[in-house]
Chain A
Amino acid sequence: METFFSRDQQVVRISVLAELRFLPDVLQFVHAVAVKLGLPEEDAARLELVAEEACVNVIQHAFEPGESATFDVIVLRRPGQVVTVIEDRGKPFAFRKLEAEKKSALGTLLMKAFADQIQFLNLGDGRKRVELVKNLPVQKVEAPAAKTAAAGEGFEVRPFQPAYAAGVAALATFSSGPFQSVEMILCADRMREAVQSGRFLSCVAVSEGGSITGHLGLRLDGPSGRVGVIAESAVEPEPAGLFRKMLEFLLKQARMRGMYGIYCETRNREVFKEFTSLGGIPTGFWLSPYGTERAGYLKLNYGDSQTAFVPFHHKGMITRIYEEAKLNRDLRMASSLAEISGVAVPTDTILNVTANPRSRTVFLRISEYGVNFEDVVFSLMQEFTVQGVETIYLDLPLTYAHTQIYCVSIEALGFSFAGIIPELFEGDVLRLQYVRNAGTSQPADESGLSKDLLNYVIAARG
């Protein structure tokens, strides 16, 4: 399978002794490479600072005192981004220890402030990895000639081509119509690279006069990605029907590619309405202080047959979602922990942590359960709440019996049912959410499954 990382271009990999004295030279080298890759000087300095904090954590916490060890510092070029990666084979992340030591708090604060994105990964073979991401600058875009499609003027939906990138960036910058998740298409270079890497499928609406009046994209895991995520949507307010036409176009393309389905999450009611009118089924509601996001799935083709270990107490709602989304699942019940105890459980839980410092949101995705699963989740929860995180989303693979068993104990920590995400991460996942302040207004005008699911999510949070 194409992995997210396989599209990265590794520029530098340095193995360095885990001793502080070597750090400044390595970091200044990282800084220089980041500038060569296009980061402005001041952002390269920020990346250097963030990398120092991460490296110091590794040197001071990953190894036993006096242990002779090395770790790797890697610089990657990812579409639109420069990424510094710190990899080591030391002890797993000691979040509790870090939290207990006040001197780590300043470093963590700076990392969150200066990185555009941070990911922590336990890679499972004794390695762990921290990714520190800086976005390349957005290319300045000239305002389009004062020519927008007049009401009633026709338009044509076409596959995206690199030549449209600047026009799309201009649309995302200057359009007064509804848009969402336009971070990438604001930068023409980044978008070109994403399309060429096969991780982005998109289309544009072009008016009869040649203006770009709409853009809609699907994010994919890679060229062979089986599920697309609706993203990077920008449309002019007129003419009506632009969004729907583009969505229909992409659904056709995705169906022809044999993709299993399309996943959508949005706070925009109109966008979700169009999605459901074309067959999308609501699968969850993600609560947050910034408004509730609707999540849904639209099945296109039959995917691989799957076993799902649905938690007993959520079986009714999840079964209903599966039925309405026409997803055939072999629902299994793990009678007890004994059923999973026969399987060798690794020591470490493998998980992917993605933090969005701006929205104070953290996404935890469990790839494999280890014996320390509950401890890891509890430690992370404590760590992130101390750091001011407002919302934590925890994605648990439904293909594992552990999800059925552990769901109750994780909910006892304060997480609650949010919904499911079908097929997205090599199988369905159950999403739980920990929301400190969910906000007071909730979506209205829901009906059928959508209404029942929203009520269920709100009741689950208590």
Chain B
Amino acid sequence: MQINVAKERAFTRVSVEGRLDAVTSKDFEDRVVQVIDQGEKNLLFDFASLDYISSAGLRALLTAKKKLGGSGGKIVLAGLKKPVHEVIEIAGFTPLFVIVASAEEARNQF
């Protein structure tokens, strides 16, 4: 798994490539928590190159959501591939996050 973090004007973009599974999700979660602890409230998770997500990855997303809490911040998920979207949908996560087709479209959300 590769994680790239890039600060943009109104948000921080976290791009993930590969898998968010029982092994890699902890790294992802740590990076995201680190970004939030640095004061970022708006996160764009660019999942266009994410091939696989399991319950461990879902829990990392929940941790990020909880960490933002009532700060008025926002998490947008962008570019979900079909298998990843299916898992997120079945887990009942779609009401919890803003989901858009692409990272470009996500820019309008912040």
Contact = CB atoms under 8 A, between A and B. Distances in A.
Contact of B21 (A23, A46, A103, A110): A23
Interface string A92-107: 0000000000010011
Interface in B1-28: 19, 21-24
B91 A24 contact: no
What range describes how many residues of A lie at the interface?
A: 20 to 34
A107 B52 CA distance: 14
Central interface residue in A24, A103, A106, by most chain B CB within 10 Å: A106
A103 B19 CA distance: 19
Interface of A: 20-21, 23-24, 27, 42, 45-46, 48-49, 52-53, 56, 103, 106-107, 109-110, 113-114
Interface string B52-73: 1011101100000000000000
B23 A21 contact: yes
Given A24-B24, A103-B55, A110-B87, 13 more contacts: A23-B23, A24-B23, A45-B52, A45-B83, A48-B52, A49-B54, A52-B21, A56-B56, A106-B55, A107-B54, A109-B55, A110-B91, A113-B90
The main secondary structure of chain A at its interface with chain B is helix
A24 B55 contact: no
7 nearest interchain CB pairs?
Answer: A106-B55, A107-B55, A113-B90, A56-B22, A52-B54, A45-B83, A20-B22
A53 B54 contact: yes
A289 to B, nearest CB: 22
Contacts of A106: 55, 58-59, 91
B90 A52 contact: no
Interface string B77-109: 000001100010011000000000000000000
A288 B31 CA distance: 48
Interface residues of B, number: 16
A110 B54 contact: yes
Nearest to B62: A106
Contacts of B54: 49, 52-53, 56, 107, 110
A294 B67 CA distance: 53
Given A45-B83, A53-B55, A24 B90 contact: no
Nearest to B26: A20
Central interface residue in B19, B24, B54, B91, by most chain A CB within 10 Å: B54
A42 B83 contact: yes
Contacts of A27: 21
A52 B24 CA distance: 13
Contacts of A114: 90
A42 B59 contact: no
Contact of A42 (B19, B23, B82): B82
B59 A103 contact: yes
Contacts of B56: 56
B30 to A, nearest CB: 15
B90 A109 contact: yes
A107 B22 CA distance: 11
A363 to B, nearest CB: 24
Contacts of A49: 52, 54, 87
A267 B55 CA distance: 37
A19 B57 CA distance: 18
Contacts of B91: 106, 109-110
A53 B15 CA distance: 24
A19 to B, nearest CB: 10
A20 B56 CA distance: 12
A103 B90 CA distance: 16
Contacts of B21: 23-24, 27, 52
A113 B58 CA distance: 15
B53 to A, nearest CB: 8
15 contacts: A20-B22, A24-B21, A45-B83, A49-B54, A52-B21, A56-B55, A56-B56, A103-B55, A106-B55, A106-B59, A106-B91, A107-B55, A109-B55, A110-B54, A110-B55
